[in-house]
Structure 1
Amino acid sequence: MGMSGIAPIMHKLILFKNQPEAVQTTGYEVLMGTLYGLGALIYATRIPERWKPGRFDIAGHSHQLFHVLVVAGAYTHYHAGLVYLRWRDLEGC
């Protein structure tokens, strides 16, 4: 599911390769995908509580880290959206 963004990103880069906003938003999108993927990986592998059972029962377990990374991914998505909106305001639709 996360890889479904590759085709639209490539399409954007082909059409607007000379626009700095296209490159900037691509960086945000790659960072967003990395944060979401890392969160999913940590949650699926149950790290760090797998390494030290009982130590992360209150704070720092994989579910909490997953949520932190998802919020960080959403924050980068928000910033990409701001760049898109500013670009649309300057260039038009």
Structure 2
Amino acid sequence: MSVMDAVSLIGGVIGAMHVPEKWFPGAVDRCLNSHNIMHVLVVLAVYSMHQVTTLDLAWMARGDCQL
């Protein structure tokens, strides 16, 4: 499992379980609610995918790969 997959899975679980809202009802309505946490984790997953894609493109540009 890649970092991107793990971060996405964690974000999905937090979003589905509504974890902070269950533990602190009414206290995390505006910030640190499960929906906001899920969005932050999605951005981290996309950033991870961007980094790996950049490395792959640099590797392919060097000509080391056999397409």
TM-score by length of 2: 0.91
Q: Find the residue that maps to 1:35 and give its secondary structure.
A: helix
Q: Which residue of 54, 79, 86 maps to 2:26?
A: 54
Deviation per CA, 1:61-83, whole angstroms, max 9, x where unpaired?
A: 00000000000000000001001
- 1:34 and 2:6 are equivalent in the alignment: yes
- 1:82 and 2:54 are equivalent in the alignment: yes
Shift of 1:54: 0.1
Superposition RMSD on alpha carbons, in Å?
1.2
Moved over 3 A (4+): none
Distance, in Å, in 2 between the alignment partners of 1:31 and 1:63 is 20
The size of the alignment, in residue pairs, is: 65
